[in-house]
Structure 1
Amino acid sequence: MAKAAPQLDTAALMQDVQRAMDDSAAVWQRYTCRLLTPMYGGGVEPGVVDRLMPIRATAIRGQLRAWWRLLNRRRTEYCREGKPDSALLFAAEREIWGGLGDEKTLAASKVVVRVEKMPQDLRLSPKDGTALGRMILSEAGTEVEWLSRRGPVEFVLALRIDAGGESILQALRMWASFGGLGARTRRGLGAVEVSDAQGDVLQATKDDWEAAGGTVGGMRDCFFDDYQSAVQAGVQKLIDFRQDAGLARGLGSGSRPGGSFWPEANAVRHLMRRARDKNRNVLDRAHPPPLLFPRALFGLPIVFQFKPDEKQGDPAPCALE
C-alpha cells in the first residue's frame, strides 16, 4: 500500500534556511547600495524596469566579472613574453567565476552575489527633456520609463568570496565608481553609491584604475552640490561634443542645423550610394570620403536620419549596429 507523502513544513524550512544563513554570516560581506541617478532598464527585457525584481544579482555579478577581466588582463601571471595571454586569463577567470561546459569542465562560481532588501513601492518616471533624458535613445514617439531617483532607492548587496580575494574587491570598487545598473551606465544612468558595513563609501583608488591601463580626467574648477548635477553637466559636455553648432556641426540657418563635421554622414552616403546634390562628390568611387564611424566608441546602435534631405536624394533612415 502506497504511503502518503509527508506534508512540507514551509515554516520550519524557512527557519532552517535562515539559521544556515546566520551561521554563515561570517563569510558574507554586505554593502549598502543607493541609486544616485535614474536607472534605465535593469530587468531581463532590455530597456524595461522590472517592477518585481528591478535589481538583479546576476546582472551585478556580470558587471563585477567584466571589471575583474579588465583589471587583471595585464597581470604578469596572465602574460607570456611580456604580452597579455587570453588563454591564461580565461583559465583564471573560469576558476574564480565559473563557466558552462560538459560534466568534466563545468565550473561553479566561487563568487556568490545576492541582493537583499529589494526596493519596493517603485515610482517610475517618463523620459524627460533633461540632458540625461535626451541620452536615452528610443524610436520616435516611443514612451520609455526609468526608475526615478526621487526618494531613497536602496538595497543590500551580499557577497561571498571563496576565491579571488582582493581582486574581487578591486572590481567592486571600480564598479561602484565607474559602473552602474541597467543600460546607458557610461552616460551616467544607474550610478550607485556603495558603502561598507562601517558606512565608508567605496571608491576606486589610483592603483585600481592604473591596473586597468586608464587615467581619470575631469572638468577643471567645476563643483556641484550633488551627484546628479555633476552627471548632467558631464553628459551635456558629451552632447555638445557630438552635436553642438559651431563645434560638431555648421551653424545652419534658422531652426535647421548645419551639416555635421563628423565623417559618419558622408560615409553612410557613400556606402548606400545616395546623396543630395550638394554632397554628390562623396559618391566618387575613385576618391571615397573617410569611411570612419568614430562615434561608435560612445555606444551602439547609432541611428542616422537625413530628414528632410532624404527627399532630395539622401539615404533613408538607417542604423549602425
Structure 2
Amino acid sequence: MRRLPGDGNGREPVPPPVQPQLSRRVIGSQMVPLVTQIRSYELITPLFGGGVEPGETDPVTVIRGPEIRGQLRFWWRACRGGRFNGDLAAMKEAEDELWGAASTERKPMPSQVEIMISIEQSGESKHPFEVVAGLVDGRKDQPKPKVKANEIVAPAYAAFPLQPSEKEMRAGGIGMQTKTVRTKVCFTLKITYPEKRREEVEAALWAWETFGGIGARTRRGFGASKLVSVDGKPVTPSRANEVEAKIRKGLQKHVVSGTWPASVPHLSLNPRMKVTGRRSDPIAAWEYLVKCLRDFRQSRYPGASPRQPGRSQWPEPDEIRRLTDRRCDRHARSLSTVRKFPRAAFGLPIVFHFKDEKIGDPYDTILQGRDYERLASPLILRPLACADGAVGLAVVLEGTGVTVLPDSLILRKKEEVDISWPVEAAIEAQEAQELSPLNGIPDVLQAFLKKL
C-alpha cells in the first residue's frame, strides 16, 4: 500500500478539517439566512497566558474558539445590555439565546454564533524577565539571583505577574527559566451567525477589536489585536489623528442608550476616554500608557537621590500606619490627613509592602472587598495600530469598580485573615485638593486620564 507523503520531518500529514459553507440554518422552527465572515488578525502586543499552566502560553493551541466566544459575550453585554432596562434576568436570557448556554433535554441552548479559529502563525516565545547575577553588598564574589526586565518584550510594570518570586529565584538560581509570552501571533476567525443578528454580532466584534484582546491582562494591553482583512479584503487602518473620531462614531453606532443591570461593566456613549498622540509603533504607544500609569500610581515626593525615592504622595501608607499602629522612626510624621484608599479605583486586590518592616513599619497588608477578593480594573489601556504608527487608548468602563461598591472594602493582614479594618476609597472634593496626584479631581481615574 502506498504511503502518504510526510512533511519531511518524519511526521504524517494531518488532513484539513471539513468546514462546510452554510447559507441557511433552522433556528427554532424557521429556516433563517446566515452570514459568514473570515476575519484575519495579528497581535500587536504579546499574548499572556492561555495555556495549561497558569500564566503560560500554549504553543500548540495558542488561541481557542471558546476564548473568543467569551470575549464576544462580554463585549455584547457592554454594548447591548442597556436595552433591558436594568433587568439582569432578561439580559441573561437574551445573551444565552445568542451565544449559547448549558443545554438540557427540555431546553436546548446551542449558540447561534459559530466560531472557528485557524492559527496562521503561532509566534515566538519570549521572556519578559530573566534572572541574572546580582551583587551582595557590592561584592562580585558573592552573586545572588536578581530579576532583570526585558522592556523590549513588554513593559515590566504591566508584566509584573510574570516576574519570579524571591522563593522561586532562590530555588532556580541564576539563569532559571522564567515564564514566557508569545509575540508575532496571527490567526483567522471564521464566524457564522443569523442575518437578523448582524447588528448585535457586529457590535460585539467592533468593541472587542477596539477595546479588548486575547489571553490574560488584556486591560493592561496584553493580547491587543489588529484587524488585517475581512473576507480577503485588506482593512486600511485610520491615521492617528482620525482614531478618536472613529471610536466615537463606533460608540454611537453600536452602543445602545438605556439602563444596564447593576454591576455589569459597559461602554458609554460619552465615555471617560483619552487617545494619546502618535507613536512610532504599537509597543511604543503601549510603553507610554504603562509608564504614565506607573508614574501616577507611584507618585512620590522628591527623595535624597534616584536610588532613594521619597515618600508616597498617596494617603494609603500613612493610613495603614495609623490602623496597624506601626511606624518606623523615619516615618514618624504623617504626610497626609486623608484617611482613604483612593487607588482602589484601579482594581483589587492591592498588596501593600513596606520595605522598612524590620525597623518598625507595618507588615504586609491586602486591600480587598469585604465579600469578595478581586475586583477587575475598570480602566482599559491598549495600543491601536494606525496607518502612520500607533496611538494609545485609555477608556473607563462604567458600571464597575469601587464607585459601585463604596462601603464594602477592608484592609487585612496578609498572613492573618481574621485581622482586618473597614476602610473607604471614595474621595471628597476637599480631600482631592489635598492630594497632589489628583490635582483637585475627586474622580481618580479621570485625574489619571487628564495626565495622559
Q: Give the TM-score, by structure 1 length.
A: 0.77
Is the CA contact (8 Å cut-off) linking 1:113 and 1:160 kept in structure 2?
Answer: yes
State the distance in 1 between where 2:317 and 2:105 align: 51
Instruction: Give the corresponding residue for 2:127.
Output: 125
The one-letter amino acid of 1:303's match is V
Measured against aligned partners, the alpha-carbon deviations of 1:251-303 in whole angstroms (never above 9, x if no partner) come to: 12221221112233234334444333465687xxxxx95242x3333344433
Q: Which residue, out of 362, 367, 385, partners 1:315?
A: 362
**RMSD over aligned Cα atoms:** 2.9
Higher helix residue share: 1
Measured against aligned partners, the alpha-carbon deviations of 1:127-177 in whole angstroms (never above 9, x if no partner) come to: 33426233212353563311134xxx2110111223632111111111111
Q: How does 1:85-234 map to 2 (within 5 A)?
A: 85-100=87-102, 102-117=104-119, 119-120=121-122, 122-127=124-129, 128-130=149-151, 132-138=155-161, 139-141=164-166, 143-149=178-184, 153-162=185-194, 164-194=197-227, 195-197=229-231, 198-200=233-235, 205-210=247-252, 211=255, 212-213=267-268, 214-219=271-276, 222-234=277-289
State the distance in 2 between where 1:316 and 1:200 align: 53
Displacement of 1:30 in angstroms is 1.0
Look up the SS of the partner of 1:123 in the other structure: strand
Displacement of 1:205 in angstroms is 4.0
Instruction: Give the corresponding residue for 2:326.
Output: 274
State the distance in 2 between where 1:113 and 1:301 align: 34
Q: Give the TM-score, by structure 2 length.
A: 0.56
Instruction: Give the corresponding residue for 1:58.
Output: 66
Is the CA contact (8 Å cut-off) linking 1:71 and 1:208 kept in structure 2?
Answer: no
Structure 1 spans left out of the alignment, 5+ residues: 1-13, 283-287
Q: Number of residues paired by the alignment?
A: 284
Identity %: 34
The one-letter amino acid of 2:311's match is G
State the distance in 2 between where 1:263 and 1:32 align: 47
Displacement of 1:209 in angstroms is 2.9
State the distance in 2 between where 1:101 and 1:266 align: 53
State the distance in 1 between where 2:91 and 2:59 align: 37
Instruction: Give the corresponding residue for 2:174.
Output: none
Structure 2 spans left out of the alignment, 5+ residues: 1-14, 24-33, 130-148, 169-177, 239-245, 256-266, 368-372, 374-452
Look up the SS of the partner of 1:165 in the other structure: helix
Look up the SS of the partner of 1:116 in the other structure: strand
Is the CA contact (8 Å cut-off) linking 2:42 and 2:186 kept in structure 1?
Answer: yes
